[in-house]
Amino acid sequence: MKSKTFNCFIESLLYTTAVYLVFFHFSSFKYSFLAMNLHPLLIVIAIISLKYGTYMSGFVVSFSIIYYILSYIGLGRDMIIFFSSFEYYKFILMFFFTALFLGKLRDTTDQKIMHLEGEVSKTREDYEKQKENNVKLITINSRLKKRIISSRESIVTLNQIKSSFANMNVEQIYTEAILVMRQFLESDVVSIYSFNHEKNFMRLKLRAGNGRIPGFLQVKKDSVFDEVIKAGAPMEFPLDIEGDSPIFVSPIKNNDEILGFINIERMSLEASERYSYEMFKIITHWLNEALSEAFVKEEKEIKENYLKDTKIFTMGYFNKIMSEEERRKKLLGMDFMAFETKIEGVTPDEVAEMIKGKVRESDFMAMDDNKLRILFPATTAASKELLMEKIASLFHGIEVDFYEI
């Protein structure tokens, strides 16, 4: 803008000075300069006004008036007559109105050009956005087409999996449920929680992926899980950037009683679409029967495999759990830690008393006549030293030497 103003000032000064010199100062017809029908200064004003607009044409008008009055005074004329005679001051009015009219025309044209440039810019932005949306739509349609083509195979696969649940133990059912969710929904984090209606809290059974929802969770009023409990049906929730809340939640029900939840805590960005939620509802409906039976079966299975009245498992049952953890690590990348030590002259009742209230419900401990084993699911190798110190501290007065298995 400053550069444009400077250029207008210089051009106005140069053009009006040139007209003054050519048509008056060096002319032998000086008197005719004051009464030219098409005054050369008026032409200069028209050119500058059309080029720079109303406001900047003030320079050329000012210089034109100055040179016209200098010419008038240079011829020895009286200034009183100048302002009282229309013959002379009409040129001043002509200068002003020519600049105003032609400058306004230029301003209007500039405004239209700016408006059109804005429209062009907006159209280009809309075009780019539409282009991106079209690419996304093509990608989604391509993925949807693939899913539709494989839908018959998927239904057969689900039927086969559902049928195979009858021959699985509880831990295997949980693993298969997670595998199904990840296979069909491209989810990054899937979890299964049990729900204690009387105490109103949830306990993590199994999670695949790095989730942020705690393993033990009190269900608060108006929370995500409270809404699902009230609805008694699968629900979709807004994406939580922090990952503290799931995006899909389905209750695991036995008749009208909610026994737990299966959650999609996070999905790949490409998979987060309406189709995924509809698929989630279908799959969780298919899994509900097996998972609800697993929750009921779990209590019975655990009691049957405890040693006497303790919460220490038989070594046979422990080995089954251990095998399942090894399978989960291979299929889902879920780490675990397991330790063993020789132990003699101590009864399961005495061990149970030592560890009472000091071991998580999700951890597994088993013993036989000469050894004791402890399994920590969902635990990385980074915790090894800390865990060994912790379990060694549980057995005061007993000679134990734990090592990893």
Give residue-wise pLDDT tens across range 316-331.
Answer: 899 989 998 998 888 8
What pLDDT was estimated at residue 272?
Answer: 52
Q: Which residues contact 351 (CB under 8 A, 6 or more apart)?
A: 310, 312, 343, 365, 367, 372, 395
Average pLDDT, the chain: 83
- Listing DSSP states for 300-339 in one string gives HHHHHTBSTTSS-B-HHHHHHHHHHHHHHHHHH---EEEE
State yes or no: pLDDT of 232 exceeds 70.
Answer: yes
State yes or no: pLDDT of 251 exceeds 90.
Answer: yes
Q: What percent of the chain has pLDDT over 90?
A: 12
The Cα 151–Cα 145 span in angstroms is 10
Under the banding of pLDDT at 50, 70 and 90, the label for residue 224 is very high
The Cα 292–Cα 301 span in angstroms is 14
pLDDT in tens, 323-352: 989 988 888 888 888 999 888 878 888 888
What's the whole-number mean pLDDT along residues 309-315?
86
The residue with greater pLDDT, 376 or 272, is 376
- Listing DSSP states for 240-299 in one string gives -TTS-S-SEEEEEEETTEEEEEEEEEEE-GGG-SHHHHHHHHHHHHHHHHHHHHHHHHHH
In this structure, are residues 194 and 177 in contact, taking their beta carbons and an 8 Å threshold? no
Under the banding of pLDDT at 50, 70 and 90, the label for residue 262 is very high
State yes or no: pLDDT of 144 exceeds 60.
Answer: no
Rounded (10°) angle between helices 170-185 and 315-332:
10
State yes or no: pLDDT of 153 exceeds 50.
Answer: no
Under the banding of pLDDT at 50, 70 and 90, the label for residue 149 is very low
What's the whole-number mean pLDDT along residues 141-148?
56
The DSSP output letter for 212 is -
What pLDDT was estimated at residue 260?
Answer: 93
SS3 content of the chain, % helix, strand, coil (to 5): 60, 15, 25
**Exposure pattern of 185-214 as b/e (b: 16+ CB <10 Å)?**
bbbbbbbbbbbeeeeeebbbbbbbbebebe
What's the whole-number mean pLDDT along residues 13-24?
88
Q: What percent of the chain has pLDDT over 70?
A: 92
* Sole residue written with tokens 């001051």: 89
In this structure, are residues 40 and 19 in contact, taking their beta carbons and an 8 Å threshold? yes
The Cα 219–Cα 261 span in angstroms is 12
Pair of tokens at residue 210: 């790095």
What pLDDT was estimated at residue 140?
Answer: 60
Strand-strand pairing, 403-404 and 371-377: unpaired
pLDDT in tens, 22-66: 888 888 788 888 888 788 888 898 988 888 888 888 888 889 888
Under the banding of pLDDT at 50, 70 and 90, the label for residue 261 is very high
What's the whole-number mean pLDDT along residues 267-289?
76
What pLDDT was estimated at residue 158?
Answer: 63
State yes or no: pLDDT of 271 exceeds 60.
Answer: no
* Sole residue written with tokens 């705690």: 214
What pLDDT was estimated at residue 282?
Answer: 83
308-to-71, 304, 305 alpha-carbon distances in Å:
125, 9, 9
Nearest Cα neighbor of 207 from 190, 221, 222 is: 190
